Amino acid sequence: MKTIKLFFTAIAFIVIAQTGMAKANKMGIYLTSEDYVNHKLSYETDGKDGKIRLNEMFGSGNVVVVEHGVRQVLSKKQIFGYRLDNEDYRYYNDVPYRIIDTQGFVIYSSPKLVPAGKGPKSTLFYFFSAKPEAGIKQLTMDNLQEVFSANTKFLYSVASLFKSDSELTAFDPNLKTYKIKYLYEQTLK
């Protein structure tokens, strides 16, 4: 019975989130990674003249854009991502990843439901890519080693400062940056 309640609670949460996205104040689509880098939004809307539906609820592979009464369906594979209320997201394998930091390399986050005690719990997972157009991998020491194998100074710094994958998202409030980003920048000097 608790599982059924949790299932319907999760569905209600998704419906509310989807409705909130549809009614967002300002939204637009980045068609390519170059558009994202240059801050060039396509199909930009404030919700009055047009509408963008992300269709995240059941994992649809399409985004629906309505401009001046004309409906257009775009495949998530055709677009880089979107901007919603001053937050940027990138699609990778039809999954949206929130872009957190782009200095040096890109860090993303994405919530996932994980089993916990009496039911599933939403947990934030972190990911990265070497460039905006590169493939996204989970932020782990092994994946960093694979992607940045040519930058041994960075990899040695990571190995000496971080003891586990969970520490890779440590933020330095004095520097106002992620510690891993600081290390990466230092190895480029």
Please check the confidence at residue 37 and state whether its pLDDT lies above 60: yes
Angle, helices 152-161/179-187, rounded to nearest 10 degrees = 150
How does the average pLDDT of the chain come out, rounded? Answer: 86
3-class DSSP state of 123: strand
Strands 177-178, 171-172: pairing kind: antiparallel
C-beta pairs of 53-61 under 8 Å, 24+ apart in sequence = 53/21, 53/22, 54/18, 54/21, 54/22, 54/82, 54/96, 55/18, 56/14, 56/17, 56/18, 56/21, 56/96, 57/14, 57/15, 57/18, 59/94, 61/94
Closest to 77 (Cα-Cα) out of 96, 58, 98, 100: 96
Q: Give the model's confidence band at 25: pLDDT under 50 very low, under 70 low, under 90 confident, else very high.
A: low
Least confident of 22-26, 53-57, 109-113, 127-131: 22-26
- Condensed to tens digits (0 to 9), the pLDDT of residues 82-126 reads 999 899 999 999 899 999 999 999 999 999 988 888 888 899 999
What predicted TM-score, i.e. pTM, was given to this entire model?
0.81
Q: What's the rounded Cα separation, in Å, for the pair 54 and 46? A: 15
